[in-house]
Amino acid sequence: MDLSWMAWTKPTATFFIIILCLLVTMTVWEIKVPGGAPRLGVLRFETTRGDRLFVSLLGSAFIHIFWLAFISLSLWWALVVAFIYAICVFIWV
């Protein structure tokens, strides 16, 4: 399979591997403890674990896109920012 069209750098590969690991972890967690206990966060509507994961992944994608567009530092820093963002989403949303 020819994947030369994609710029597979280490940060890019790490980003997608982390997403895969998160999806597998959340699937196993949902199988073991179904339901996810919806809670009311700062957005003032109920969210489950899956909702918070989706918001985290969506925000992480935007962080990386904006990082590539406006900041010339390494993508590893964007990964750190995205990780901190995801922790904040799981705590407060």
Q: Is residue 78 part of a domain?
A: yes
Angle in degrees, CA 35, 36, 41, rounded to 5: 135
Q: Find the domain containing 59 and state its range.
A: 47-93
Express each pLDDT in 12-21 by its tens digit: 788 788 889 9
Is residue 75 pLDDT above 90, yes or no? no
Percent helix, strand and coil across the chain, each rounded to 5?
A: 70, 5, 30
Q: Is residue 41 part of a domain?
A: no
| 40 membership: H or E segment, kind and range | strand 39-40
Tokens (6 digits) for 36: 């996810």
Q: How confident is the model at residue 3 (pLDDT cuts 50, 70, 90)?
A: low
**Number of domains within the chain:** 1
- Cα 28 from Cα 34, distance rounded (Å): 10
Is residue 84 pLDDT above 90, yes or no? yes
Is residue 88 pLDDT above 90, yes or no? yes
Q: Is residue 25 part of a domain?
A: no
Q: Is residue 37 part of a domain?
A: no
